A = this chain, B = another copy of it.
Amino acid sequence: MAKIVRIDMGAKKITQEDAGKYTPYGSRGFIARFMKDEVDPACEPLGIHNKLIIATGLLGGTMTSSSGRLSVGGKSPLTNGIKEASSGGTAANDLARHGIRALVFEGLPEKGDQSSYVLVIDGEGIRLEVMDDLRLVGAQDTILRLREKFGDRAGVICNGPAGEYMMRGAGVVCASVDSSMRFAARGGLGALMGSKHVKAVVIVPSKEDRVEYFDKAAYTEASKEYQQMLVDAYPTIQKSNQLYGTTGMTKIVDELGFLPTRNFTRGSFEGVENICGEKMVELIQARGGEGKTGVACMNGCMIRCSSIFPDENGKKICSTVQYENIALLGSNLCIDNFDDLARLNHQVNDLGLDAIETGAALGVAAEAGLVKFGDGPGFLKLMDEIRAGTPLGRVIGNGTRVTGEVFGINDLPTSKNQAFPGYDPRALKGNGVTFAVNPMGGDHTLGNCYGSRGQVPPLATEGQGDLSRNTQVQMAALENLGFCIFARSYLFKKPELFTQLVFGITGQQMTVDEFWAQGTETTRIEREFNIASGISPAMDRLPEYMYREPLPPTGHVFDLTEEEVLKGIV
């Protein structure tokens, strides 16, 4: 049976137990149920009673393509509610092969204990090591140093300086195959990790594969069928996912008019041609060197959506620039130069910051006059302030709400204190519903209606509530498994495969409807946690200015009725 490993950061004591009743749940599903049982909803997010949970999906450690995402959760220091964020990289598969479903960091180091701790999982067992030389080291160097010490194939989960400073914009970093950074970015979970002085988790690959199957044959059959779907779709995958990753959508979003631009005051960016996916690929191909597309973040992935963006000399600037980065660090800041964008993206990553939260905070900082829109080097200087922990840097690193509060800006693109991702909800109204009602605020994964724009037009005032709710439910069900978003789109063609894969692992027999119902249950547990934590239904809304100020070029405000919005509540 999969194990839960508890690490008491006060007593520095490590204990293991069977996953027990949590066995049927992975990732977000695990985190919601575990937190319901063990975390006081009203506790202080950076206090002694919160827990940092790192969990694999149900399929973690299998060789099924693209199923090895890592989930990180806890009570969010940003939203003050429940939070799960997930990441690519190798660590989830590494943990699962050690037979571990979840790591749970509990308690706080004693006052006066200033050490940085690394949890090491290897053939000798599980132990905490003090590694003070990693204190405030950037996430990129932290990965490189730990892989130098523990081997190139070691899984690494780590915190950047932002999380160590306990900035609420900090995410948790997960190393990819090629030692670049992937992110469980949102909700300030890096600050939670920082409060517990956990600088990193290192997982030396297990010699023995400890993934347990209820019926391995059944699992393998379903997995093969799914992988065949990927093989069948491979020409498309090569032309789209492998080339552009998520960046291919930039120009579409711009044309539809909801590309966050100039601190969410416009939905279309005049410099879009210079920061779109096509431009990225053109530059990568022309510059060569370390630059490439079609990079896998986890072993065994057939989709390989990552890329490495190089400078003019072919030297790597950033891996991997994604759509959300382009939207929040590019158009939202009016940066129309891909080199500036990639450099900013890399600095944000290396600091261990959430690019969405930070991009939105930088937009607010520009609105406040601290830097000029479009001034790439100016924004990069602010990254130096964050790294140095200056007052200004600490403000921005704490995200959009704190930046707005400090600099007297009231109109903030946030919901439940979390910044909006790359979809202005005035012109993609389904996402407005999701941002308003979902348990984690402005979020791009929990119920993103972008992919269903053929089904309900982005500007329509009806149907958005149902669309958002259904999408939220499906995503919550799928989060159990550990699949990445690209894999899901192929799997959706035959949802029975989800249930067959789950059966192969856990032995649970369920219909597709019952599978989706798990998503409903997860979301409701999260919502109940939030209400008990003090996040009342009064907070199920967007910022006031979005109901009032039209967004060019569509000229739309967020004009759904309250009734329509509330339909989105799961």
Contacts and interface: CB of A to CB of B under 8 A. Distances in A.
Interface of A: 41-44, 46-49, 165-168, 194-195, 390-392, 394-395, 398, 402, 405-408, 410, 531-536, 538-539, 541, 543-545, 548
Contacts of A548: 48
A104 to B, nearest CB: 19
A541 B42 contact: yes
A407 B406 CA distance: 13
13 contacts: A42-B539, A44-B543, A44-B544, A47-B545, A48-B544, A166-B408, A390-B391, A391-B391, A394-B395, A402-B402, A531-B536, A534-B534, A535-B536
A394 B405 CA distance: 9
Contact of A538 (B168, B408, B533, B545): B533
Nearest to A385: B391
Q: Among A48, A167, A392, A405, find the residue whose CB has the most chain B CB atoms closer than 10 A.
A: A405
A390 B408 CA distance: 12
A499 B159 CA distance: 63
B408 A165 contact: yes
B405 A168 contact: yes
A544 B47 contact: yes
Nearest to A541: B42
A531 B535 CA distance: 10
A188 B405 CA distance: 12
Given A43-B544, A194-B408, A391-B392, 7 more contacts: A42-B538, A47-B410, A195-B410, A394-B407, A406-B406, A534-B535, A536-B536
A405 B410 contact: no
B398 A406 contact: yes
Q: Among A532, A534, A535, A536, find the residue whose CB has the most chain B CB atoms closer than 10 A.
A: A536
A449 to B, nearest CB: 24
Nearest to A111: B549
A390 B49 CA distance: 35
Contacts of A41: 538
Contacts of A395: 391, 394-395, 406
A35 B1 CA distance: 57
B539 A534 contact: yes
Contacts of A535: 534, 536
A311 B249 CA distance: 68
Given A166-B408, A392-B391, A406-B395, A534 B538 contact: yes
